[in-house]
Amino acid sequence: MTTDDSVQVSVLGLGAMGSALAAALVGAGQATTVWNRSPGRAGDLVAQGARAAATAGDAVRASPLVVACLLDHASVHEVLDPLSGDLAGRTLINLTTTSPEQSRELAAWAADAGIAYLDGGIMAVPAMIGQPGASILYSGSAAVFDRYRPLLDVWGDSTYFGADAGLASLYDLALLAGMYVMFAGFLHGAAMVAPAGVTARDFAAMAAPWLTAMTGAFQGFAAVVDGGDYTVEGQQSLAFSDLALGGIVAASADQGVGTDVLVMVQRLMRRQIDAGHGQEGFARLIESIRQPH
């Protein structure tokens, strides 16, 4: 994809992700200025056609569009607060991982400083940027999203969630929550079979298609949750699930591995069973999550 290289863009932060974002822009013919707090990170990008700025201020002043991909929320303020005057009248796209409330705070800060603001959550690892499967979620200024959509699409599929700057972060972190729990479940399974001489690689070959197939249950769970009726026929009851999970916990202990991952799920189930919902469906776990102790 080719962008409008008459629009200058500056990328602040050349860690693994920032470098990947900048490289994709340069590769698409986008006029790109780059800056990193620690020197020595820009060499490869300059060789590809980027321009290196000596300071963050130089980078900001070089372009009407500034992309921040820094360490955390605090680092965004540390770098940009002194430059709020230079940023006034420009556009800031923040791709630093932040919480929803931090994203909203940055949007308010930007509005006070006269900066057009778009927040983003990157659903990809650096090697995926610019490749099929990469996705970036956005929220904040619709005008910024529409204006720079061709540039955003260089990085991956672009999805806009609305004016609330915290929504992209919320979706990002919610999706990552599901990912991390799934990864923990896979690693638990790998630990279970290891004493039997099964390698993690061999277990992965079995687990990947199985877990992929099981994601087909998401829409069914979603329909039950949105409908609010956990007694819908065809669901596996919590009582049955608790019995099945108890067997997995016991087998795990027999294999000499920890049961922390499974016990976490079992506790969520048993809270609902103890409240008299044992014959209702597994989707009712969400009520334990919605109403934590």
SS3 content of the chain, % helix, strand, coil (to 5): 60, 15, 30
Residue that the structure tokens 């209702």 belong to: 280
pLDDT of residue 130: 97
Q: How far is 83 from 56, CA to CA, in rounded Å?
A: 8
Residue that the structure tokens 């048993």 belong to: 270
Q: Phi-psi region for residue 256, left (φ > 0), alpha (ψ -120 to 50) or beta? A: left
Residue 8, helix vs strand vs coil? coil
Q: How far is 64 from 35, CA to CA, in rounded Å?
A: 15
Query: If residue 22 lies in a helix (H) or strand (E), which one and from where to where?
Result: helix 16-27
pLDDT tens per residue, range 102-140? 999 999 999 999 999 999 999 999 999 999 999 999 999
- State the virtual CA torsion across 288, 164, 107, 143 in degrees, nearest 10: 150
pTM of the model: 0.91
pLDDT of residue 134: 98
Question: Which domains, from first to last, does the chain contain?
Answer: 9-163 (3.40.50.720), 199-290 (1.10.1040.10)
- Using alpha carbons, list the distances in angstroms from residue 288 to 265, 266, 277: 10, 11, 11
- Using alpha carbons, list the distances in angstroms from residue 280 to 30, 112, 244: 55, 50, 15
C-alpha closest to that of 137 among 150, 151, 124, 126 = 124
Low-confidence ranges of the chain (pLDDT < 50): 1-2
Contact 119, 97 (CB under 8 A): no
pLDDT of residue 2: 47
pLDDT of residue 292: 85
Q: Inter-axis angle of helices 167-193 and 238-254, to 10 degrees? A: 50
pLDDT of residue 4: 59
Q: How far is CA 169 from the centre of its chain?
A: 7
- Cβ contacts of residue 133 below 8 Å, gap of 6+? 124, 156
C-alpha closest to that of 95 among 117, 127, 63 = 117
Average pLDDT over all residues of the chain: 96
pLDDT of residue 39: 86
pLDDT of residue 1: 47
